[in-house]
Amino acid sequence: MNRLYFKFGVMGSSKTASALMCRFNYMQKGSNVLLLKPAIDTRVKVNEVTSRIGLSAPCYAFCEDKNLIEIFEYENQKQKIDVIIVDEAQFCTAQQVDQLRQLTEEVPVLCYGLKTNFKTQLFEGSKRLLELADSIQEIKAVCQCGKKSILNGRFVDGLLVTEGEEVVIGGDETYKALCYSCFKKEKQKAKIQDKLVKYLKIFKDMDDAGTWSGDSTADNIVLQEPYVIYDEDVSAFIEDFKEFQVPHPEQTVVVNDCVKDLKKIAVKDKSFDYVMTLISYVLQMETIRPGLLKTLIEDGTITKWLKQIKKVTSNI
């Protein structure tokens, strides 16, 4: 009995090369192969399947509204088809996978593709293949750290992104196969760059981070100590930093809250965690010593700390 096969792997795991070698093996035995791929894959010629190692073969490229049973019947009239091989099968619609399942009543069908997208979610075609395939096989690949890659990371300007359109055609310059641990590190790095490092440019030449204010005097009212009304950008920084706030930083960083002492702290060789704890400490002390953050921004200390954060996260 003919079967539906789904062979999946991450980007760069030689899925296409495996599909083309499978085609070659069938052809060596005198079998006629119908090689298919979704037309959305435009990295090379539309009617060609090409692998990174240089193997290639002509194929039938189909659109998402095309009925694959009709394609098979048309090609089968020209010459008897013995097997169907589908590359980039994740881009098939669920309906097209149902059609491939139906075609196994005629011939074996072998599908090669990704399992999940850059958001770590199943593609429509992959989901349906996992539900219907008789045989599911992983084509394994290695992460940059040496562990097994399981996720496909999309990168823009060197940083991992987890939002955007599901399908963006690209190669090694856009995608990287990662293990879960490296994916988490790259995600954290991107978040830090987006949320915090951007304030380097803003704080670099900031000579007035906020203005002092105090409650007006009135009879029988206890006056509050003066406080700082921070600049909009500084307020945004404080809000963004809440996501990285270190609880009880005073238990980790033992330092005098004197501005001179904080400014003297050498962070050149300090870790990301240490610098983040320093900022958390300053924000905590701000409730006791209003204006501490203002002073450290205006004298360049926070900028120095952010530079170190950028340095260490760039090397994650």
Catalogue the active-site residues. Answer: 88
Own/partner pairs for 97-105, CB < 8 Å, 24+ apart? 97/125, 97/128, 97/129, 97/132, 98/128, 98/132, 99/67, 99/68, 99/69, 100/4, 100/68, 101/4, 101/132, 102/69, 103/68, 103/69, 103/72, 104/2, 104/3, 104/4, 104/134, 105/2
Q: Which residues are CB-neighbours of 52 under 8 A, at least 6 positions away? A: 12, 14, 16, 17, 171, 172
Kindly state the DSSP code that residue 143 receives in the 8-state scheme: -
CA 35, 38, 44, 47 torsion: positive or negative?
Answer: positive
